Structure 1
Amino acid sequence: MQSKEAPEERNERVRQEEMKTSSTANLNDAITRGSNGSLVDLVSGFGWKGIGILLLVLCIGFIVYAVFFR
């Protein structure tokens, strides 16, 4: 009996394999991730509810900015 792999786990496994095979890309990712952070790491930590809440907060923030500061 084979265990099913979740899509998030499969994506992470493929990303890790790509990092192992490409050392220059890995170096570039490490340099830019240290200064900017990684969107993949941010989004993978959230579920669909977390992403929805994040988008809602961004939209409300933009509306408040547009109304009060323009």
Structure 2
Amino acid sequence: MSKKKESPERLRERLRQEELKRSPGGNLNDSLNRASTGGLVDLVGSMGWRFTGILLVLIIVGYIIASYLLD
């Protein structure tokens, strides 16, 4: 699709994705602020797959520890 015929929504999304690729760490604060308003896609999308994986592992380990402590 040529850039002249690109819809405004696609243009905004493409620019947002390019910014995330240029500075993934700098967007973490922005993503956390967006997550507080309900944008889970923005939170996970800007963190990257490694940080998302670490977050999931911590949540699972925390759940396991809490289930043992509450028994």
Q: Higher relative contact order at CA 8 Å, sep ≥6: structure 1 or structure 2?
A: 2
Q: Comparing both structures, which one devotes a greater share of its residues to helix?
A: 1
Instruction: Return the TM-score normalized by structure 1.
Output: 0.48
